[in-house]
Amino acid sequence: NAGVTQTPKFQVLKTGQSMTLQCAQDMNHEYMSWYRQDPGMGLRLIHYSVGAGITDQGEVPNGYNVSRSTTEDFPLRLLSAAPSQTSVYFCASSPRSGGTDTQYFGPGTRLTVL
């Protein structure tokens, strides 16, 4: 299993540009989440999904959209990038059943918005 994968690893955008951060998992996990990590702020939940076709907002959803058309993929879209969205983005997944709540994190995408 590859686990949770994210692409790209690094990205530089100009203010106003749009892009999609990709996240995929091959563990058949139902739960998937996006977090952003800023210095001194820990990780903050952006959006999450409890299954294909179901998404909901987390703590800091503004400026981001998500969709979940398949169990495996959970892309994060920035519609009009702003410097405040400069951050490291982590995708995570966890199983719904099996007696564990462990969230498995992807390697992260480091985004810089100029």
Q: Does 42 bind other proteins (CB under 8 A)?
A: yes
Regarding 22 and contact with other proteins (CB under 8 A), the answer is no
Task: Please select the residue that binds other proteins; options are 17, 44, 77, 86, rule is CB under 8 A.
Answer: 44
The answer to whether 4 and 21 are in contact (CB under 8 A) is no
Which residues from 59-98 bind other proteins, rule CB under 8 A? 59, 90, 94
Identity at 16, one-letter amino acid code = G
How many chain residues are in contact with other proteins, going by CB under 8 A?
22
Asked if 52 touches other proteins (CB under 8 A), the answer is: no
**Conformation bin of residue 3: beta by default, left when phi > 0, alpha when psi is -120 to 50:** left
18 vs 69: CA distance, rounded Å: 20
Between CA 51 and CA 94 the distance in angstroms is 11
C-beta of 68: minimal distance to other proteins in Å?
Answer: 13
Contact between 50 and other proteins per CB under 8 A = yes
Rounded Cα distance, 56 and 64, in Å: 11
Residues that bind other proteins (CB under 8 A): 31, 33, 35, 40-45, 48, 50, 58-59, 90, 94, 101-103, 105-108
